[in-house]
Amino acid sequence: MTDWQITKKTLNERCLFLFESGQWHDCEFIVGMESNQQVFQAHRLVLTMASPVFEAMLFGGMAEKAPIKVLDVSPEAFRSLMLYIYSDQINLQSFDQACEICYAAKKYMLPHLVEHCTKFLWKDLEPHNVCRAYEFAKLFEEPVLMEKCMKIITQQTAKVIATSAIEDVEHASLIAILEQDYLNITSELDIFNVLVRWSRKECQRRPLEVNAVNQRMVLGDALYRVRYLTMNATTFANGPAVSGLLSPEESLAIVMNILTPGKWPLPDHLDGSTLPRGACPPAPAAAADSQLPGGSRRLCARPILGEPHQLIRCQEEASLTLSVDRPVHTLGIMVPSQVTDIPTDWLPSQSLRNTPGANLNYGQNGYMELLYAYVADSDNQRLTYTHFTSRVNYNDLVEILFNRPVLMQPGRVYRIGLVLNKLGWYPMGVSTTQVHASGVTFSFGIGKPGDNVKNGLVRKIVFSTDGVPDL
């Protein structure tokens, strides 16, 4: 019998053989729900070389014991993930498959595989699947894919709303579409008819009896985003007015404003726009969608009053709310790295001290920082994010730049969030509620106490005022 090592010409072939055969495996994964489970045998060293998440799972202070259960990934997607890790194989064949693999790649922080999946999704975007792609991109915080999807929705609206997929979108996605100034439609009645279809399907999903009262209830604010005043009186009277979704008072106010604009009071909750969506050219890309020149960067440094250092465990979150008094592009943040002057009375267990992922054996070469940072609006919608993985020095300040800048507007509240994934001691602190920097006033700690947790970890805001609209 020929030794298998002799027949495998490349490292990829040899690694693939180890995965397929399970030879020398030292960890196991039970993948999928009970009705469709599969056991995968793997090698901790190979997985750790590919993914910092696997490193934390298999070698870190919170290391899991075998077998490891993975219930939120299908066996097929997990196998594709393993094939990529062991042999660089990527075989994307369908929209659904790419979504599943992308989810797994995001979970285990394999950015190159995520990139392959999203590029495949870009190429496969069509009116029949663009709504699902938009929801996928929103769920997994892929802003570029979200923009590409919305571009197709606005430019090919008639084809998109002709599919049944529009009836399955989330309410928030429906609102996002209705907020667009440009939609490629012939009449606003097309949009109203979409709401009728969506509300019927939503009643069935809940489940509720399909009637006008329940349809109005499930539509909520979406019903008032329709530009009724762009319809003529006949179209409105034969459509929305007799649908039962609008109250008699709302219908009367709308039809009177269509016939005699401005002569009849229009309820504040109704859209008063008289400009058809099809008449508005697509909006140009915002300045925040492109990276700004390095010379425009400015810093808002928060003065910090030090507090006792705190031991941060895996996947602990920190957050800071803020607002500005003039528009700014937020590019990133600066956060402190772990410290070495830990409390002298803290005596970790020997097993924890010797755990490679615990970062308790401080060396001159620093440590591998692993965190996730994002910016969200007041509705908790993620506007930008970044996965940061890099070797950093202890007792230092680390700059973290987001995937793309965010245009922050005055009068709105935003939240910067951090998810720390490395066990270690971090410096805590408190700061003032207002800081003036380069002509901008930053206000911090706005809102409920629960919105601001360990906010002293955000030491500086990296921002720019170049290219922002005038007040």
Domain CATH number, residue 294 = 2.60.120.820
In terms of domains, do 268 and 187 share one? yes
In terms of domains, do 299 and 274 share one? no
> Is the residue at 154 inside a domain?
yes
In terms of domains, do 112 and 188 share one? no
Amino acid letter for position 324? V
Say if CB 151 and CB 283 are below 8 A apart.
no
Number of domains in the chain: 3
Please report the pLDDT score of residue 470 as a whole number.
58
pTM greater than the 0.75 cutoff: no
pLDDT at 292 over 80: no
Indicate if the alpha-carbon torsion angle 222, 227, 229, 230 is positive or negative.
negative
In terms of domains, do 298 and 266 share one? no
E strand segments, 1-149: 27-31, 38-42, 68-70
CA distances from 104 to 81, 107, 111, 129, 311 (A): 7, 5, 11, 20, 29
In terms of domains, do 313 and 384 share one? yes
Q: Tell which of 279, 313, 347 closes a domain.
A: 279
Q: Tell which of 279, 297, 315 closes a domain.
A: 279
In the predicted model, what is the mean pLDDT of residues 79-95?
Answer: 92
Which has the minimum average pLDDT: 71-80, 193-202, 280-289, 387-396?
280-289
Q: Tell which of 257, 279, 301 closes a domain.
A: 279
Of residues 416 and 381, which shows the higher confidence score?
416
> Is the residue at 360 inside a domain?
yes
How far from the centroid of its chain's Cα atoms is residue 157's Cα? 24
> Is the residue at 132 inside a domain?
no
Q: Kindly state the tokens that stand for 140.
A: 């997994």
> Is the residue at 136 inside a domain?
no
Say if CB 299 and CB 436 are below 8 A apart.
no
pLDDT of 107-147, one tens digit each?
899 989 988 998 888 888 899 999 999 988 888 778 788 88
- Please state, as a whole number, how many other Cβ atoms lie within 10 Å of the Cβ of residue 343: 10
Of residues 4 and 229, which shows the higher confidence score?
229
Which has the minimum average pLDDT: 69-73, 220-224, 341-345?
341-345
In terms of domains, do 302 and 345 share one? yes
Read off φ and ψ for residue 133, nearest 5 degrees: -65, -40
Return d(Cα 249, Cα 234) in angstroms, integer.
18
> Is the residue at 131 inside a domain?
no
> Is the residue at 206 inside a domain?
yes
In terms of domains, do 383 and 412 share one? yes
In terms of domains, do 455 and 320 share one? yes
Q: Over 170-221, what HEC string results?
A: CHHHHHHHHCCCCCCCCCHHHHHHHHHHHHHHHHHHCCCCCCHHHHHHHHHH
Length of the chain: 471
Read off φ and ψ for residue 222, nearest 5 degrees: -60, -35
In terms of domains, do 59 and 181 share one? no
How far from the centroid of its chain's Cα atoms is residue 385's Cα? 7
Please report the pLDDT score of residue 354 as a whole number.
44
In terms of domains, do 341 and 273 share one? no
DSSP state of 70: E
CA distances from 468 to 348, 405, 415 (A): 50, 12, 20
In terms of domains, do 220 and 261 share one? yes
> Is the residue at 377 inside a domain?
yes
> Is the residue at 470 inside a domain?
no
Most confidently predicted of 165-169, 357-361, 400-404: 165-169
The boundaries of the domain holding residue 77 are 4-123
In terms of domains, do 254 and 359 share one? no
